[in-house]
Amino acid sequence: MWKVENCLAGLKSLSYHESPPMKFSCKTSDFLHALQLASRAISGQQALPILNNVLIEVEGKRCTVSATDLELSIVTSFEASIENEGAITVPAKAILNFAQYNTDTEVLLETIEGTQLKCVSSHAKTLISGEASNEFPTISKIEKENSLSIATGPLLEALNKVTFSSARSTLRPVLAGAYARIEKGKLILVATDSYRLSEFAVQADLDASDISCIIPTKVLEELRAVLGAQKPGKEEKKEEKEEKDEEESSKKKTKQEMKIVLSSQQIELQVGSTRLLSRLIEGKFPDYQQIIPKEVKTRAVLPVKDLTTVVKRMHYFAKEMNNNLTLSFTKQGVHIATPQTQLGKDETTLDAEVTGNDNKIALSSSYLLDFLGHMEEELVEVGVTDSMHPALFRLPSSDRYLHLIMPLRIQEE
């Protein structure tokens, strides 16, 4: 991992920005959107006070807003009307407060005495104390070794279905990220905290091969936020639908893609005018494929909505006994029950299409809810070998995704 002390030591050798007087105007909504994106790189506890700031730079016809916590950097830009080029760094909370609660359409920003940022609109005038831009560490592009482009839609789906399974603790750094590899024209993302695992294969026209790395989960969660903000609105969708005469060419033009640039230690994710840069996680990801059941003895197809409702109800009792839920599979359906607790117990039988042997397994209600909460499909398939092996979840509508949940000890009545 990129250690903070190494970053601090490296700040002395960084190049710095000049800070001439700056003056430009822009749409308040564009400015706010850029600030909201970039400031996501700012973590709660910063090693240096300057890292609570955003860097605002204007050059040519664009305004660029940047932020970093020395682990993750986010850089984004938008069009602006520039009178004087320049740069300044200001506290993120202060400038966000101004932009968020300013109801005027346009805003004029200019520096005063180098370190003061005056923000003026029709009904507001705010002065924010900042610092010279040369106090802010330079965010450099990475040394390119490999690059690939991928459609944003499938990637966003993969992120939604994978990253929640990664470890939230950094005790085992390799589990605090998602393992990414290129295989037979597919980008495969995998995450696990050793108690559950998610894998999603994104179909793509990828010529690259022999590429694998571990990407910090934080980076991918921020990428998910950026991609979510890139979704076309209803008006855009309507306009695309009306362009029937140019349907094929329109598809090619409107197909949203992002670029991934890799070096041996860093990754850069480019989405439109926004870049996310981060160190990769060093280490070897576990050989997870050996725990995926090759064959299951029982399969059941269940409605996601019904299963979610039942597990939510039973979680009240299950959490008293290590979130333990017992699922029993028979030809009559899937019987789900909680152990007897001081609060009581709960049980029900869901109608389901069950094939194979009768079977039983105990699973965490918390992990089940986490998994089901990321499903947008109507049906989910559960595969069970026995009570000692992980439950295998797949989507009947797609073979691109799988999810594992390790079993708990069955509580005897």
Q: What is the pLDDT of residue 169?
A: 84
Over pLDDT 70: what percentage of the chain?
87
The half-sphere exposure of 390 on its side-chain side, counting CA atoms within 13 A, is 22
- Tell me: pLDDT of 286 over 70: yes
Q: What is the pLDDT of residue 242?
A: 45
Retrieve residue 342's tokens: 């001081």
Average pLDDT over residues 374-382: 96
Average pLDDT over residues 94-107: 96
In the three-class reduction of DSSP (H, G, I as helix; E, B as strand; rest coil), residue 177 is classed as strand
Q: What is the pLDDT of residue 20?
A: 54
CA–CA separation, 258 vs 279, rounded Å? 19
pLDDT digits (tens, 9 = 90+) for 19-48: 458 999 999 999 999 999 999 999 877 778
Q: What is the pLDDT of residue 180?
A: 95
Calculate the average pLDDT of the chain. Answer: 88
Q: What is the pLDDT of residue 42?
A: 94
Average pLDDT over residues 167-191: 92
Q: Write phi, then psi, for 133 (nearest 5 degrees).
A: -65, -20
Q: What is the pLDDT of residue 255?
A: 63
Residue 411 — pLDDT band, cuts 50, 70, 90? confident
Average pLDDT over residues 344-373: 96
- Tell me: pLDDT of 219 over 90: yes
Average pLDDT over residues 101-110: 96
* Domain ranges within the chain, ordered by starting residue: 4-135, 146-231+256-279, 292-405
**Alpha helical stretches, state H, 146-229:** 152-162, 217-229
15-29, 37-51, 53-67, 180-194: which is most confident: 53-67
- Tell me: pLDDT of 2 over 80: no
Q: Which residue has the higher pLDDT, 89 or 248?
A: 89
- Tell me: pLDDT of 231 over 80: no
Q: What is the pLDDT of residue 45?
A: 75
- Tell me: pLDDT of 158 over 60: yes
Retrieve residue 196's tokens: 């559950």
CATH number of 292-405: 3.10.150.10
Burial 309-323 (b: 16+ CB within 10 A, else e): ebbeebbebbbbbeb
Q: Which residue has the higher pLDDT, 74 or 211?
A: 74
Fold equal for 4-135 and 146-231+256-279: yes
Q: What is the pLDDT of residue 204?
A: 76
Q: From its phi and psi, is residue 148 left (phi > 0), alpha (psi between -120 and 50) or beta?
A: beta
Q: What is the pLDDT of residue 208?
A: 62
pLDDT digits (tens, 9 = 90+) for 109-145: 999 988 999 999 999 999 999 999 999 998 888 888 8
- Tell me: pLDDT of 253 over 50: no
Assigned CATH topology for domain 146-231+256-279:
DNA Polymerase III; Chain A, domain 2 (3.10.150)
Using the Cα atoms of residue 182, residue 255, residue 373 and residue 72 in order, give the sign of their dihedral.
Answer: positive
Residue 172 vs residues 160, 167, 264, 364: alpha-carbon distances, Å? 22, 8, 20, 22
Q: What is the pLDDT of residue 5?
A: 43
Q: What predicted TM-score, i.e. pTM, was given to this entire model?
A: 0.85
CATH number of 4-135: 3.10.150.10
- Tell me: pLDDT of 67 over 90: yes
